[in-house]
Chains A and B, each alone.
Chain A
């Protein structure tokens, strides 16, 4: 058996080294693949947050303040994801907006067709932390409420 394996390996080495040719098995990945993956990630995140909101309602957990706050937190994360998807779409996919930092603490926002409205919308969307920080804060408060409820329940039991 050992002798047979050696023969097979020798034959394979010969075929690889002595008979080279074009290889088409590996797929080529373009530059845009990264941003699409990122966008799909955001969509997945958004979808999961929608699911979380509905499940909390569906399971009747919304009667608890803690879960209600987590539900609102999920809603803010949905908004944040939507915001992030839009920004990435504008500047990384269709290149409709670009930002150039100026020396005096200002930035020039260039938009297609010089649309001022699009510029300000983009500027607003770039401040996405105004959505994700409250979302995270609501998540924290929700957990705080759940801890308090749980402790109160334990205290009653005791």
Chain B
């Protein structure tokens, strides 16, 4: 990452205070860009109801910011600050399992109501399949991000 920053002429400061302030400034700039993208979606997407081709890229910017931020937090070891060893990891995963079960159930019910009640057996079979897919996806993502974060913390504490 530092090589890329140097490539764009953003040098790493030796002074820690200047480094801190620069980081803060770039963070604020990122949030400002995010705000502009959100404003674009609200105005062009919701208010003016323009086609997605016009405001889709703003949606992508927000998505990319959030995805990059979450992955970066995991690699920095700060994704979940309550996780610092295997015991706390397992405890957190148990807590997340319950949350994910409830969220998956809620989403399955909402999508079923939105799509209309099923008329045949295949339609009814889709509901638990949807539920399982959403639950497993959420659980896997949580496990991967928490594991990456835990590995970083363990490496720092070695």
The finding on whether chains A and B are genuine partners in a shared complex, rather than unrelated, reads no
